[in-house]
């Protein structure tokens, strides 16, 4: 059932479990209005999104197709509000908006906005909503995108918010492109079911894995393996979600032992920007959580290596030349899936699918 954020006070909304928040964020056709966390997506909706991403991708191959795509929401403007460093997520959102013909504004440093003069974030976001029709936001604060979505839904210009990374908590659109990458990679060998996905690195503070684990939980017989030093293991909260949904998962500190049965290995970097004390992460032995040619030799021929990027030294660049190295293609997939998400948010799904059916 769909619910409306006008009917609930912020404190009551904030206190709900994520599954109970999801109905407040939906449009009548089941697609998200605000995209805030992974719990809003189940495999049928993810399939819809991946189909739309493939469709946009093939339409955009021709000039006529690109002209059509650029007509879709050329009357809408997007504000990219990134108060945390970003290269890929930012640029892929820019490209996604451009594919759909949107105009873009950006704030990447709050020192250049009125927040610096003491303006509250609520007021900043309401200001953006006076000029724009979509806010894509990245913030070091967990829950800020949710709060802004509630503020806007309760304003006279209720425009959608897309979370492009919230603190150590969630990165739902990265998880969408990860699922899209897995689906494309396993398309010819039975799809995303009966698989073993091995996630490696700083799982305690890596928001990409935290969102991906939730999405993977919806797929039949997909085993999740979390490989990390003990201090950086996946959070209890994610484990509780997996237990509740009956997902088979393992915690390990031995990467090599899992490689022969992996279908995908998802590497991540140490997120030392979150260290409480200086040098805290440097004191952890991460040498066994790296992927090089010796690890590659243990991987099956169909298995893939993923990484949300940026990488440091957790994947040896020598691996890049192997066809199983998927991270560069994974990055480009982000542009298509984000274009699909924005197209869906603005109700263009049917029109785009119909164009493909009629023209390609
Ligand atoms: C990730 C992030 O920002 O969480 N980057 C990204 O969006 N691709 C991963 C990271 O910073 O390690």
Give 217 Cα–ligand 1 centroid separation in angstroms. 21
Q: Strand order of the sheet with strand 195-200?
A: 249-252, 222-227, 195-200, 264-267, 304-306
Residue 165, ligand 1, Cβ within 6 A? yes
Residues near 97 by Cβ (< 8 Å), separated by ≥ 6? 78, 103, 104, 342
Domains 5-169+333-353 and 172-330 in one fold: yes
Residue 207, ligand 1, Cβ within 6 A? yes
Give 106 Cα–ligand 1 centroid separation in angstroms. 19
Whole-number Å distance between alpha carbons of 80 and 259? 38
Give the DSSP H or E segment for 259: none
Whole-number Å distance between alpha carbons of 63 and 154? 41
Structural fold of domain 172-330: Rossmann fold (3.40.50)
Whole-number Å distance between alpha carbons of 341 and 94? 13
CA–CA distance from 114 to each of 109, 127, 166, 350 (Å)? 11, 10, 21, 40
Residue-level length of the chain: 360
State how far Cα 264 lies from the chain centre.
17
Which ligand 1 atom minimizes the distance to the CA of 334? 8
Residue 3, ligand 1, Cβ within 6 A? no
Residue 334, ligand 1, Cβ within 6 A? no
What angle separates helix 236-244 from helix 207-216, to the nearest 10 degrees? 10
- Reply yes or no on domain 5-169+333-353 having CATH 3.40.228.10: no
Whole-number Å distance between alpha carbons of 313 and 290? 7
Residue 269, ligand 1, Cβ within 6 A? yes
Joined tokens for residue 254: 């031995």
Would you write out the chain's pLDDT as a tens digit for each of its 360 residues? 789 999 999 999 999 999 999 999 999 999 999 999 999 999 999 999 999 999 999 999 999 999 999 999 999 999 999 999 899 999 999 999 999 999 999 998 877 777 778 888 889 889 999 999 999 999 999 999 999 999 999 999 999 999 999 999 999 999 999 999 999 999 999 999 999 999 999 999 999 999 999 999 999 999 999 999 999 999 999 999 999 999 999 999 999 999 999 999 999 999 999 998 878 899 999 999 999 999 999 999 999 999 999 999 999 999 999 999 999 999 999 999 999 999 999 999 999 999 999 997
Of the residues 163, 174, 289, 331, which should be mutated to test ligand 1's pocket, given the most ligand atoms within 8 Å of the CB? 174
Structural domain spans, the chain = 5-169+333-353, 172-330
* β partners of residue 137: 81, 163
Whole-number Å distance between alpha carbons of 282 and 170? 24
Which ligand 1 atom minimizes the distance to the CA of 164? 7
* β partners of residue 267: 200
């Amino acid at each position: 059932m769909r619910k409306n954020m006008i009917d609930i006070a912020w404190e009551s909304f904030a206190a709900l479990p994520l599954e109970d928040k999801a109905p407040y964020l939906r449009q009548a056709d089941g697609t998200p209005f605000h995209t805030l966390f992974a719990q809003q997506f189940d495999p049928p909706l993810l399939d819809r999104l991946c189909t739309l991403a493939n469709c946009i991708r093939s339409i955009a191959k021709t000039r006529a197709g690109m002209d059509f795509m650029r007509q879709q929401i050329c009357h809408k403007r997007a504000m990219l509000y990134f108060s945390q460093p970003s290269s890929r997520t930012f640029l892929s959102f820019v490209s996604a908006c451009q594919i759909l013909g949107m105009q873009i504004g950006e704030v990447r440093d709050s020192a250049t906005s009125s927040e610096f003069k003491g303006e509250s974030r609520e007021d900043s976001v309401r200001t953006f909503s006076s000029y724009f029709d979509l806010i894509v936001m990245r913030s070091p604060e967990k829950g800020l995108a949710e709060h802004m979505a509630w503020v806007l839904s309760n304003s006279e210009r209720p425009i959608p918010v897309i979370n492009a990374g919230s603190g150590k908590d969630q990165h739902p659109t990265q998880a969408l492109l990860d699922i899209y990458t897995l689906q494309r990679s396993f398309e010819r060998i039975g799809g995303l079911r009966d698989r073993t996905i091995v996630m490696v690195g700083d799982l305690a503070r890596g928001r990409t894995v935290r969102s991906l684990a939730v999405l993977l939980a919806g797929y039949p017989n997909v085993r999740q393996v979390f490989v990390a030093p003990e201090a950086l293991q996946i959070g209890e909260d994610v484990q509780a979600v997996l237990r509740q949904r009956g997902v088979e998962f393992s915690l390990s500190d031995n990467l090599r032992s899992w490689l022969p049965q992996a279908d995908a290995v998802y590497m991540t970097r140490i997120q030392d920007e979150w260290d409480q004390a200086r040098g805290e992460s440097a004191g952890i032995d991460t040498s066994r959580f790296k992927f090089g040619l010796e690890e590659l030799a243990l991987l099956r021929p169909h298995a893939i290596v993923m990484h949300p990027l940026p990488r440091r030294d957790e994947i040896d660049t020598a691996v890049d030349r192997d066809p199983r190295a998927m991270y560069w293609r994974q990055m480009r997939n982000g542009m298509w899936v984000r274009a699909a998400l924005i197209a869906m948010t603005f109700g263009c799904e049917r029109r785009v699918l119909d164009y493909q059916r009629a023209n390609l």
